[in-house]
Amino acid sequence: MKRVEQQTDWIDTWKDVHSYDLMEVYGQVKWLGHAYAYDIRRRNVFELIQNVVKPGAKILDVAAAQGNFALPLAEMGYEVTWNDLRAELIDYVKLKYESGTVHYVPGDVFSLGFDGCFDLVLIAEIIEHVAHPDEFLKKISQLVKPGGYIVMTTPNGEYFRNTLPKFSDCADPSQFESIQFAPNSDGHIFLLHLDEVDQLANHAGLSIVETRLFVNPLTNGHIKLENALKVMPRPWVEQIEGFTESLPWGVQRKLHKGMAVLMQRT
Q: Is the pLDDT of residue 72 over 60?
A: yes
Domain assignment present for 6: no
pLDDT for the residue numbered 27: 72
Using alpha carbons, select from 159, 173, 166 the residue that is nearest to residue 190: 166
Residue 131 falls within a domain, yes or no? yes
Q: How far is the C-alpha of 23 from the C-alpha of 55, rounded, in Å?
A: 29
First to last CA, the chain: 34
Instruction: Identify the band that residue 150 occupies on the pLDDT scale cut at 50, 70 and 90.
Output: very high
14 domain residue, yes or no: no
How do beta strands 206-214 and 258-265 pair?
antiparallel
pLDDT in tens, 191-218: 899 999 999 999 999 999 999 999 999 9
Decide if 118 is inside a domain. Answer: yes
pLDDT of residue 182: 67
| pLDDT, greater one: 252 or 164 | 252
Q: Is 10 left (phi over 0), alpha (psi -120 to 50) or beta?
A: beta
Q: What DSSP string describes 21-78?
A: HHHHTS---S-HHHHHHHHHHHHHHHHHHHHH--TT-EEEEET-TT-TTHHHHHHTT-
Q: What is the pTM of this model?
A: 0.93
Q: How many domains does the chain have?
A: 1
Averaged pLDDT for residues 127-146: 94
Q: What is the pLDDT of residue 26?
A: 83
Q: Which of 75, 71, 96, 62 lies closest to 181 in space, CA to CA?
A: 62
Q: For position 249, which CATH number holds?
A: 3.40.50.150
Q: What is the CA radius of gyration of the chain?
A: 18
Residue 135: domain span: 20-265
Edge-to-edge strands, sheet with 58-62: 101-104, 79-82, 58-62, 118-124, 144-155, 258-265, 206-214
Residue 88 counted as domain residue: yes
More confidently predicted of 67 and 176:
67
The answer to whether residue 11 is domain-embedded is: no
Q: How confident is the model at residue 184 (pLDDT cuts 50, 70, 90)?
A: low
Per the domain annotation, does 10 fall within a domain? no
Q: What is the mean pLDDT of the chain?
A: 93
Q: Which backbone phi and psi does 190 adopt, to 5 degrees? A: -125, 155
Does residue 179 lie within any of the structural domains?
yes
